[in-house]
Amino acid sequence: MTIRLSRLSIIAIGLVLTMGAARAEARQSREEELAQAQAEKAKALHPYEPNAAERVIAKAGRALAGPPSGFYPWLGTVYSGGLFALGPGYRHPFGGGGALDAQAAVSLRGYTLLRTTVLAPPLAGEHVRVSFYGEVIDAKQVGFYGIGNETVEESRVTYRYEPRTAGARLTFTPVKPVELGAAVSYIDITINETGPAPNYLLTEAHAAVDWRDTPGYSRRGGYYRVDWSNYDDQNGGLLSYRQLQGDVRQLIPILRANWVIALRATTSLTYTSGDSQVPFFLMPYLGGGSTLRGYRSRRFRDRNRLLLTAEYRWTPSHFVDMAVFHDMGKVAATSAELNLSDLHHSTGIGIRFHTPAATFFRVEAARGTEGLKLIFAFSPIG
Amino acid sequence: MRRVIRATVALLAVVATLGGAPALTAQPKPKFFADDPVWREVDTQDASKVARWNIDLASDLVLNLFVKLGDPAADVRARNVNTVDEVPDSSWYTNRAGRTALTPAAIATGPDTGGGPAAGVWSITSAKSDGITPGFTIMDATGVRWFLKFDPPGYRGMATGTEVAVTKLMWALGYHVPENHIAVLRPEQLALGAGAKITPVGEPERAMRIDDVKHLLKRADREPDGSYRIVASRGLEGRPVGGFRFYDTRPDDPNDVVPHEHRRELRGYGVFSAWLNHVDAKAINSLDTVVTDNGRSFVRHHLIDFGSTLGSGGVAPREEWEGFEYMAEPKDIGKGIVSFGAYVKPWRTVEVYRSPAIGTLVRDNTNFNPDLWRARVPNQAFLRARADDKFWAATRLAALSDDLIRAAVKTGQFGNDEAEQFLVKALCERRDAILRAYLPAINPISMPVLSPDGVLTFANAAVAAGVAPAPASYHAVFSSFDNATRDSRRIGDATSTTTEIRAPAGLPSASGSYLHVEISATSAGHPSWATPVHAYFKRTANGWTLVGFERLQ
């Protein structure tokens, strides 16, 4: 039998022998083995492309790393009792520390918010900050239970509250942690469309000492603040009043903050002259996610208020804090009545999610005499 | 035509069977090549096209915290070791401690080629303004690029001194590190360079202003005379192309063929990080540069930024939890929540040494447990480290004597003798604890030598380091070894109470023949020493040469 070698056969044989020789040669040294692996990789080089998870995390990281620039999603509260609010925000930094920041939002209860703040670049070696702001709120169903410390839940009615505010604020930090501030605003308020419509020229001043790590989250330090406000009714003065508010917060870390005792005392006192009155919708109040947590928002209101809070916090993680708390407080017609009798109490437990500098979400359950209340908030309790 | 195809197929089968089969089928490659063991890995492919990438900090942190990245296989032997279980010199690593004789003077010099930025005007080209650590990039009067970093207010020496001292130690341990110098900055030296840029927090990049400089300097510790103590880090040679991750390979670097989690020097970096409390050993703190040498471009891999090591947290003293746990420990959260705070972690109660000059460090390090040490975020290479990787790292540490450590610490110029002495003591204690943990953990027999006349000598690294007593006896099994088939054939065995064993008669004598020796030890306190190490010798004209060594197969 004669085997005729076709052209195809010859090529195939050549290929087989060449491949064999090439492989055998590649295995003659370790250096060549490595070189071969590198040569193989060189055939399939490509630039790094982050995967979907990396892209999402990167975007979220940038959002949390600092104030945004350009459009961003805004999540927060329009007005207490309005539940979650969501909407677009836009921030435009300028001038080395200045920023224009605007938000528009709608809450789950249909409350709406339009807000613009212009923060001027720091002045006087960063000791002075000036900001200008404008805000329109439409809180459609604000609860009202009557005035006084003994109102009943069943008396609840609602009203529509629409303040429109424009103003300017100045803060002066002579030396850290001391801060002084003043603000002047014009407020145009509408209640229930046909109800009272006072216009205020509001002047405010405050002094504060804040030696917590950051206002947004801290496990140590203290915050002491006094605010004075003058609400000057521009429609005859019948609704003019003054308000003095004190806020003391102290954080006591124990065993490298394994436990933190957080104490807070807040009082608000209002003053009037002659026949003038404090309108019910601007009265100091108790009830809601940042005051008396076992009660509905603005459950108690009167001309004066006292709130005492104690929290036992523990820190299961660097990003999660737990707390059991007890709030107690009362409202009263006169400051003389702000004593420790007839206090309303609420007790609860909560979990807070935070970064080293900011609390971004907390969930709390609190019980008062009117049942269990759940709180979802995007701000620290203090 | 069909007949021709059939004939071709038949012919191919014959050729494949007779000649081509070894090439086409799975021919076992020899265990050792003529050039084994390789002590220098060469990057053969042109890497000039490697492009800059930016590793995103958030995704790097989150993914490393919650996902196992890289090769899912467990217990994988390091893939870049040579045949004698060592790490060759490469674009990643240069053998120093343990391979070359280091002196205090050499370690004090480390990677330095000069004395820091040249005097005169320093022209700022950009600023670091991430809101945490202030820093500038400048050109000195001679046109050399430097990165300047500062101490936080009230902590003179802490961040800058730590950065310099740890740089020297990491250099001694074999890594490519930048040249870092303690220097003095006088504000009047600074000038804004043309085109200097800054990206303030929450703002887009913009031209830098002199106010930005003042703002950044406010976050730095200032000397009584108005100057600033700085660490000046010389710009690395080559074109920066971003950091490297501790898993996978870089997709655009042709020479990067070993997954990073399987590189021994990166696994061993975990041991060194534990030693130095380098809690910030993450991808961002590395930098690749494309270097061209003799017309060949390759990527050199560097470790940078040691400001968060030892007692320094960079912008403040180290926080007490750092070094004890990851930033997020999901498994612990549930326990922490339900315990109402009764679950107290060890770091809450451990006594610490505090000094503005060096920061905060655990006071007593004699019982330091490197296996319990944690970086802020899991590092995939550290997680893959096996006992043999840790052993390798421990042998490197064993080569750093107290005097060498003292010399490195001195370069930090901490300005506080007591704190400096504490730092030296702490480092020596932590080194000794690591040696105690990792050298005796597996069979510590090393450096075997077989004389031409058949006397086997070796070292016991654990005994030599003084962290374990000598075993009762050593045992060696000698076998001839077929390098092509990898088969061993037993010749005989021998036992000795010393680290010298005479081989039995009958060792192969032909040049090119191989010998396989399994060496174990009998130690009541260390049963793991009974698992033999494997040494392979090749017969040459001059006697026996070690070509292979495996501690864990």
pLDDT at B27: 59
Closest Cβ opposite residue A23 in set B23, B252, B255: B23
Q: Please tell me if residue A19 touches chain B, with a CB cutoff of 8 Å.
A: yes
Cβ separation B320–A57 shorter than 8 A = no
Q: Please tell me if residue B204 touches chain A, with a CB cutoff of 8 Å.
A: yes
Token pair for residue B526?
A: 């260390």
Cβ separation A318–B328 shorter than 8 A = yes
Question: Quick one: pLDDT band at residue B29, thresholds 50, 70, 90?
Answer: confident
Q: Please tell me if residue B1 touches chain A, with a CB cutoff of 8 Å.
A: no
Residue whose token pair is 């010099």? B109
Answer whether residue A343 shows pLDDT above 50: yes
Answer whether residue A332 shows pLDDT above 90: yes
Q: Please tell me if residue B22 touches chain A, with a CB cutoff of 8 Å.
A: yes
- The top-scoring range by mean pLDDT among A300-304, B139-143, B189-193 is A300-304
Token pair for residue A93?
A: 């930094």
> Which DSSP state fits B358?
T
The separation between the first and the last C-alpha atoms of chain A, rounded to the nearest angstrom, is 100
- Chain B residues within 8 A of A315 when measuring between CB atoms: 336, 341
Cβ separation A316–B345 shorter than 8 A = no
The pLDDT mean for chain A works out to 91
Query: What ipTM did this prediction achieve?
Result: 0.90
Query: Where are chain A's structural domains?
Result: 71-377
Q: Look at B25 and B302; give whichever has higher pLDDT.
A: B302
pLDDT of B252-300, one tens digit each? 999 999 999 999 999 999 999 999 999 999 999 999 999 999 889 999 9
**Alpha-carbon dihedral angle through residues B82, B85, B90, B92, given to the nearest 10 degrees:** 140
Total residues belonging to chain A: 382
Percent of chain A with pLDDT over 70: 93
pLDDT at B335: 87
Domain spanning A71-377, CATH class: mainly beta
Percent of chain B with pLDDT over 90: 84
pLDDT at A60: 86
Mean pLDDT computed over B484-488: 94
pLDDT at B334: 87
Answer whether residue A61 shows pLDDT above 80: yes
pLDDT of A12-41, one tens digit each? 545 444 444 444 444 589 999 999 999 999
Contacts 24+ apart (CB under 8 A), A368-372: A368/A292, A368/A293, A368/A294, A368/A295, A368/A344, A369/A294, A369/A344, A369/A345, A370/A153, A370/A294, A370/A295, A370/A296, A370/A299, A371/A294, A372/A294
pLDDT of B352-400, one tens digit each? 999 999 999 999 999 999 999 999 999 999 999 999 999 999 999 999 9
Closest Cβ opposite residue A96 in set B19, B211, B256: B211
Contacts with A111 (C-beta within 8 Å, 6 or more apart), sequence order: A78, A79, A82, A85, A137, A138, A139, A140
Question: Quick one: pLDDT band at residue B18, thresholds 50, 70, 90?
Answer: very low
Question: Quick one: pLDDT band at residue B23, thresholds 50, 70, 90?
Answer: very low
Q: Look at B536 and A3; give whichever has higher pLDDT.
A: B536
Least confident of A188-197, B229-238, B243-252: A188-197
With CA atoms as reference, report the closest residue to B526 among B449, B448, B445, B446: B445
pLDDT at B205: 80
- Chain A residues within 8 A of B82 when measuring between CB atoms: 30
Mean pLDDT computed over A217-224: 96
Best B1, B6, B9, B11 residue to mutate vs chain A (most A CBs within 10 Å)? B11
Q: Please tell me if residue B403 touches chain A, with a CB cutoff of 8 Å.
A: no
With CA atoms as reference, report the closest residue to A144 among A132, A130, A155, A129: A155
pLDDT at A181: 98
With CA atoms as reference, report the closest residue to A243 among A221, A276, A218, A195: A276
The stretches of A143-183 forming alpha helices (DSSP H) are none
Nearest-CA residue of chain A relative to B344? A258
Cβ separation B131–A66 shorter than 8 A = yes
Mean pLDDT computed over B149-168: 97
Question: Quick one: pLDDT band at residue A63, thresholds 50, 70, 90?
Answer: confident
With CA atoms as reference, report the closest residue to A286 among A311, A304, A269, A271: A304
Q: Please tell me if residue B203 touches chain A, with a CB cutoff of 8 Å.
A: yes
pLDDT at A382: 62
> What residues pair up with B233 in beta bridges, in sequence order?
B147, B180
| B residues 68..87 contacting A (CB < 8 A) | 82-83
- Chain A residues within 8 A of B200 when measuring between CB atoms: 93, 96-97
pLDDT at B161: 98
pLDDT of A188-214, one tens digit each? 999 997 878 899 999 999 999 999 999
Max intra-chain CA distance, chain B: 97
pLDDT of A247-289, one tens digit each? 999 999 999 999 999 999 999 999 999 999 999 999 999 999 9
Q: Please tell me if residue B28 touches chain A, with a CB cutoff of 8 Å.
A: no
Residue whose token pair is 């000397």? B223
Best B2, B5, B56 residue to mutate vs chain A (most A CBs within 10 Å)? B56
pLDDT at A367: 97
With CA atoms as reference, report the closest residue to A112 among A76, A72, A139: A139
> What residues pair up with A353 in beta bridges, in sequence order?
A320, A361
With CA atoms as reference, report the closest residue to B139 among B122, B126, B120: B122
Cβ proximity of A234 and A201 under 8 Å? yes
> What residues pair up with A359 in beta bridges, in sequence order?
A354
Q: Residue A309's Cα: distance from chain center in Å?
A: 20
Residues A328 and A338: their CA atoms lie apart, in Å, by 12
Question: Quick one: pLDDT band at residue A146, thresholds 50, 70, 90?
Answer: very high
Domains in chain B (CATH in brackets) are 57-105+245-438 (no CATH), 113-168+177-240 (no CATH), 445-550 (2.60.40)
Closest Cβ opposite residue B59 in set A9, A48, A61: A61
pLDDT at B100: 92
Mean pLDDT computed over B434-462: 97
Output Rg (C-alpha) for chain A, integer angstroms: 32
Answer whether residue A353 shows pLDDT above 70: yes
Nearest-CA residue of chain B relative to A320? B333
Closest Cβ opposite residue A8 in set B4, B24, B321: B4
Question: Quick one: pLDDT band at residue A1, thresholds 50, 70, 90?
Answer: very low
The predicted model scores a pTM of 0.89
Closest Cβ opposite residue A61 in set B57, B131, B344: B57
pLDDT at B324: 96
Q: Please tell me if residue A68 touches chain B, with a CB cutoff of 8 Å.
A: yes
Question: Quick one: pLDDT band at residue B130, thresholds 50, 70, 90?
Answer: low
